[in-house]
Amino acid sequence: MKNLLSILLAAALCNVPALADQSGTGSDGVHVGKASALRNLVPAEQLERAAGQQYLQLKQQAAEKGALAPDSHSQVQRLRAIAQRILPHASRFNARAEHWKWEVNLIGSRQLNAFCMPGGKIAFYSGLIDTLKLTDDEIAIVMGHEVAHALREHSREQQAKGQITHGIAAIAANMVAGTKYGGLAQFGIQGAADLATRKFSRDDETEADVVGLDLAARAGFDPRAGISLWQKMGAANRGSAPPAWLSTHPAGRDRIQEIQHHLPEVMPLYEATRRRS
């Protein structure tokens, strides 16, 4: 049944028409190809509008708790200064980003987290910066990674893939219902669907790492900071991370290897920017 699920999913993916899109595949920098055609199954404007509403609610809730840092906060100014250098390069990977209403805010929380919602809504949690004592270069790597998720429209893609995967799993489960080992087979089918969904997420994380390196390097931030960043994250999360194949995120050592693999592509971008500054 797991093989059947894989075959049906592959067929579904192949039947989605390709879309023209900017992919950052110029003569320099990283090469990631076109964004998934599956994202067309989820309307971009609808997702971005919903994300904007969620972001506004998050800010309001943080403000009510006194956790939303004011514009005058030194760390807010620091984050926005880094964003001002990164965001001019965003349209290389998504032309629609030129029309997004970008925002960057800081929320007081011990969480080691940051995100960029569809449509360019960025938030950092103070715990990430303070606990890991992030340098500007390391913040740029995090920001580049989160911005890359929005540019590559991973939320749209994952929604579409999740709908297809679990829809196919439901069909396959109905096919074995009532058979001798139907209950066990249905359990296995659902497990295969869940693992496939995690794999989609890990693939998006890897792509965001790579695109984020490119963005940071073009903005004049040292992409080698990605190595020290994940060393710090590894130390902070030691003993609490699940096996990489069961996680929605790749293991830290895998991310470091991927960064090292792409450094020859992005270091010339960084060095060229530094020479011009």
CA distances from 138 to 98, 144, 224, 227, 250 (A): 25, 10, 9, 9, 18
DSSP 42-96: S-HHHHHHHHHHHHHHHHHHHHHTT-B--TT-HHHHHHHHHHHHHGGGGGGT-GG
Listed in sequence order, the residues at least 6 apart from 184 whose beta carbon sits closer than 8 Å to its beta carbon are none
Quick check: 239 and 163 in contact, CB under 8 A? no
To the nearest 10°, the Cα dihedral for 91, 96, 100, 102? -30
Annotated active-site positions, please? 146
The token pair at 264 is: 């020859």
Dist. CA 17–CA 40, nearest whole Å: 9
